[in-house]
Amino acid sequence: MSRHGHLWRLPDGTGLHAPPGELAVEESTGRLCCHLCGRWFTSLGSHVRAHGYTAQSYRAVMGARRERDLADRLARLGHAALEDYLRSAYAAGASLEALAAATGLGRARLRAALDRAGVALRPTGINSATGRRSRAVAAELRAAQRLGTEDLPGWLRQRRAAGWTLGRLAEAVGHSTHWVRWRLDAPLLSHGGELRRRW
């Protein structure tokens, strides 16, 4: 296992192996670096007890910068309080994925914030058009990033014209043949960094 040196410090002088307020994630495995010892784990919640922290106290000590980042994000969204933003955005049809992307919150913190805000989640299986669209856009962005292209529909059309089968395209993008056919028939277009459906 690789470790970082102490490149960062808390105000009390404690040496850190990752920047305070940021999670260091190993790209190949998705494991997280413990700020305190530099070891990598799939989850830090139980590990930090070895350092005398609870998951909540660890986040509080290491997350001061994250709270500032959240405040900055909320200001850009035109809200001073997280709960106000969550209530209005969810009522307008935003999906949990869209809320997580806008706020930078992980799933557990987002759910806790929604609970504090008194937001009753839509029952499973009840989707808003905004939620479906958000998931479609996210899936297309992930596929485009995986392939290193900014024009996924164009990439798909070029390979299809060159004789690639739907199965080969599906394997390349990491989705089903049904999804590939759907992207070929109704592509999302990128304009100014935002994907929009061509109608």
pLDDT of amino acid 138: 79
pTM of the model: 0.40
With respect to residue 106, please indicate whether it lies within any of the assigned structural domains. yes
pLDDT of amino acid 99: 87
Using CA atoms, how far residue 107 sits from 57, 97, 111, 144, 185, in Å, is 18, 9, 6, 24, 33
Q: Are residues 49 and 108 in the same domain?
A: no
Q: Phi, psi at residue 119, to the nearest 5°?
A: -85, 120
CA 85 to chain centre: 18
Q: 26 or 40, which is more confident?
A: 40
pLDDT of amino acid 14: 83
Q: Are residues 189 and 138 in the same domain?
A: yes
Residue 77 belongs to what domain range? 66-116
Q: Are residues 50 and 73 in the same domain?
A: no
With respect to residue 91, please indicate whether it lies within any of the assigned structural domains. yes
Q: Are residues 57 and 88 in the same domain?
A: no
**pLDDT (tens digit, 9 = 90+) per residue, 89-119?**
888 878 888 888 888 777 778 888 899 889 8
With respect to residue 92, please indicate whether it lies within any of the assigned structural domains. yes
Reported as a pLDDT band with limits 50, 70 and 90, residue 65 is: low
With respect to residue 94, please indicate whether it lies within any of the assigned structural domains. yes
pLDDT of amino acid 66: 62
Q: Which of 162, 157, 147 is nearest to 186 (CA)?
A: 157
Q: Are residues 80 and 58 in the same domain?
A: no
Q: 2 or 136, which is more confident?
A: 136
Q: Answer yes or no: is pLDDT of 136 > 80.
A: no
Q: Are residues 133 and 188 in the same domain?
A: yes
Q: Are residues 147 and 192 in the same domain?
A: yes
With respect to residue 122, please indicate whether it lies within any of the assigned structural domains. no
Residues facing residue 25 across a β-bridge: 32
Q: Phi, psi at residue 160, to the nearest 5°?
A: -65, -45
Task: Evaluate whether 96 touches 86 at the Cβ level (below 8 Å).
Answer: no
Q: Are residues 70 and 97 in the same domain?
A: yes
With respect to residue 18, please indicate whether it lies within any of the assigned structural domains. yes
How far is Cα 31 from Cα 24, in angstroms, rounded to an integer? Answer: 8
Q: 117 or 126, which is more confident?
A: 117
Count of domains forming the chain: 3
Q: Domain boundary residue among 116, 150, 180?
A: 116
Q: How many helices (H) and strands (E) does the chain have?
A: 9, 6
Q: Answer yes or no: is pLDDT of 51 > 70.
A: yes
With respect to residue 138, please indicate whether it lies within any of the assigned structural domains. yes
Q: Phi, psi at residue 8, to the nearest 5°?
A: -130, 160
With respect to residue 1, please indicate whether it lies within any of the assigned structural domains. no
